[in-house]
Amino acid sequence: MSDAAARSATAIAADVQAGRVSAREITEKALARVAAVEPRVGAYLTVLDAAARAAADRVDACIRAGERLPLAGVPLAIKDNMALAGSRTTAASKILADWVAPYTATAVARLLAAGAIPIGKANLDEFAMGSSCENSALGTTRNPYDLERVPGGSSGGSAAAVAAGEATIALGSDTGGSIREPAAFCNVVGFKPTYGRVSRYGLIAFASSLDQIGPLAHTVADAALVYDAIAGGDPMDATSLDRPVEPASARLRDDLRGCKIGIVRQFDTQTLGDDVDAVYRRAYRDLEALGAELVEVTLPTADYGLATYYLIAPAECSSNLARFDGVRYGLRVDADDVREMYARTRAAGFGPEVKRRILIGTYALSSGYYDAYYVRAQKARTLIARDFERAFQSCDLIAAPAASCPAFRFNAKSDPYSMYLMDYYTIPMSLAGLPALSVPCGWVTPDGSTRPMPLGLQLCGPLFSEPLLLGAAHAYESATGHARAHRPALDEAVDHV
């Protein structure tokens, strides 16, 4: 891995701020790394060479003028469902394949203002609908730890870019686990803040009551640094919360003394296989060894999470994606009348998984079924949130798997049901709007492979507990060092830049 990418965001920013290295030098090294490995990884849909160099020059000018930038010169990957003015923004869909954004998403703008350098727009499952990144209509992204395996989804390109050293930090979006699962698959840290903590302005909507932007990074400290930069209210997003943000970077800790961590009775890891179960049981013991008190908690409605999510999210998807009609922007397939033009445009522009979810959502919202499906799902969502509230009366945080298995081979889960089950452990937290993250917790060797693959431990906290959550994850990460146990397979086949 290149020196520029292997170093932390904190170290890069400190060196650029002190004048020991320029942002332009860091950027050139990052772009050279992209040129060397991108043909094998496919993390990006668009590489922003000119924009990156221009941003680096602006950062260097700001440093010379005496400004302080917390992310000065840090290479950034942006999930391609977030707008960046003047750049192609596709959501990995044919229907937006040539759309150039006229504005910049708030979270992206805040990182650029903090000195981050936009290296490229990262691949994803089309419109963020998927758990493997296999649903992209525009490219294939491979897991840097085994190029024959998926990087996870939907933020697979963001996770792969960080893992492959093509970026130091990345932005992803998480609707039901789309930051946490690819982070677990790619041996990086992935963090979903409390719903509404980060502005969604400029994020192409999938499910508006669930979507949340968050960071992926090599370390918890870097994720905290990104979170501190992007969190906070935004008048451009009515769902963002105008509530003071307590900087998480100042709350990182070295132990877990005085912290009660809940282990969910319903999340039995024995069903995941002996090797995966052993990794998670060891992770729980490590939490205890750091001083945490482990307590059993119950989430009686956890098993309803998948069914609830796959009614609410597709219903909101059906509503949000109705705007892609071939009239205002994006792909247009002409026909003799408007109705036929709509049909042809959407048939050609949307992929199979997007069509599937639109159909599910439209059915759930249709007359005669709205109360039976969508309204009942919303009631179940309320019960899930209440279960978490009761659980947090007896613990400070909850620990659980971030994924039920390590990264799998391409096309290994060809039926939708198997793929949807991948989100079992992450969806309940999303439905409740809670902050949650994945931190590397160990390695397993999947059947038919000789290469160890990473797993992630999920930690979840009450609403607005980001500093506590990131602090605890930092203590676990520092004490265990699982992320450093193995190098990506990519680095065994590609010369260092």
Query: In the prediction, which pLDDT does 497 show?
Result: 43
CA 432/CA 419 separation, integer angstroms: 22
* 1: pLDDT strictly greater than 80: no
Half-sphere exposure of 228 (CA within 13 A, CB side): 20
3-state secondary structure string, the chain? CCHHHHCCHHHHHHHHHHCCCCHHHHHHHHHHHHHHHHHHHCCEEEECHHHHHHHHHHHHHHHHCCCCCCCCCCEEEEECCECCCCCECCCCCHHHCCCECCCCCHHHHHHHHCCCEEEEEECCCHHHCCCCCCCCCCCCCCECCECCECCCCCCHHHHHHHHCCCCCEEEEEECCCCCHHHHHHHCCEEEECCCCCECCCCECCCCCCCCEEEEEECCHHHHHHHHHHHECCCCCCCCCCCCCCCCCHHHCCCCCCCCEEEEECCCCHHHHCHHHHHHHHHHHHHHHHCCCEEEEECCCCHHHHHHHHHHHHHHHHHHHHHHCCCCCCCCCCCCCCHHHHHHHHHHHHCCHHHHHHHHHHHHHHCCCCHHHHHHHHHHHHHHHHHHHHHHCCCCCEEEEECCCCCCCECCCCCCHHHHHHHHCCCHHHHHCCCCEEEEEEEEECCCCCCCCEEEEEEEECCCCCHHHHHHHHHHHHHHHCHHHCCCCHHHHHCCCC
- List residues with catalytic annotation: 79, 154, 178
pLDDT tens-digit profile of 10-65? 999 999 999 999 999 999 999 999 999 999 999 999 999 999 999 999 999 999 99
Q: What are phi and psi of 234, to 5 degrees?
A: -150, 120
Least confident range from 76-80, 98-102, 330-334, 492-496: namely: 492-496
The arithmetic mean of pLDDT across residues 100-106, rounded, is 98
pLDDT tens-digit profile of 368-415? 899 999 999 999 999 999 999 999 999 999 999 999 999 999 999 988
Percentage of residues in the chain having pLDDT higher than 90: 95
pLDDT tens-digit profile of 180-229? 999 999 999 999 999 999 999 999 999 999 999 999 999 999 999 999 99
Which domains are seen in the chain, by residue range?
A: 3-257+435-493 (3.90.1300.10)
What pTM did the predictor assign? Answer: 0.96
* 99: pLDDT strictly greater than 90: yes
Query: In the prediction, which pLDDT does 448 show?
Result: 78
Q: Which residue has the tokens 């020059």?
A: 57
Reported confidence tier of residue 421, pLDDT bands at 50, 70, 90: very high
Count of other CB atoms within 10 angstroms of residue 65: 7
Reported confidence tier of residue 494, pLDDT bands at 50, 70, 90: low
Structure tokens of 408? Answer: 């799998």
Structure tokens of 270? Answer: 């024995």
pLDDT tens-digit profile of 228-266? 999 999 999 999 999 999 999 999 999 999 999 999 999
Average pLDDT, rounded, for the chain? 96
CA 78/CA 74 separation, integer angstroms: 13
pLDDT tens-digit profile of 56-92? 999 999 999 999 999 999 999 999 999 999 999 999 9
CA 119/CA 109 separation, integer angstroms: 14
pLDDT tens-digit profile of 159-179? 999 999 999 999 999 999 999
Of 218, 167, 172, nearest to 193 by C-alpha is 172
pLDDT tens-digit profile of 282-292? 999 999 999 99
CA 483/CA 477 separation, integer angstroms: 8
pLDDT tens-digit profile of 348-357? 999 999 999 9
Strand-strand pairing, 260-264 and 293-297:
parallel
Query: In the prediction, which pLDDT does 491 show?
Result: 84
Contact 209, 203 (CB under 8 A): no
Query: In the prediction, which pLDDT does 5 show?
Result: 53
CA 487/CA 217 separation, integer angstroms: 16
